């Protein structure tokens, strides 16, 4: 599912989903991204998809 769909299901803002991803709290897959180039000039690009099981796990953690 998309970042926006995940945010809606968890009741948070899309920026929070990106923070969860960066912190390693949500599994994700980046689609169509370009590999980083030497010197860090590569664009990341691509869409992010989050598996449903990852959302389910986050719900369990947040309920505790």
Phi, psi angle pair for 30, to nearest 5°: -100, 125
- Give the pLDDT confidence score for residue 2 in this predicted structure: 94
- Give the pLDDT confidence score for residue 32 in this predicted structure: 78
Distance from C-alpha of 58 to C-alpha of 54, rounded to nearest angstrom:
6
Q: Which residues of the chain have pLDDT under 70?
A: 33-45
Mean pLDDT taken over the chain: 86
- Give the pLDDT confidence score for residue 46 in this predicted structure: 76
């Amino acid at each position: 599912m998309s970042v926006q769909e995940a945010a809606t299901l968890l009741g948070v803002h899309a920026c929070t989903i990106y923070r969860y991803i960066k912190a390693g709290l949500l599994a994700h897959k980046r689609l169509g991204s370009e590999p980083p180039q030497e010197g860090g000039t590569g664009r990341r690009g691509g869409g992010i998809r989050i598996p449903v099981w990852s959302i389910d796990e986050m719900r369990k953690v947040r309920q505790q």
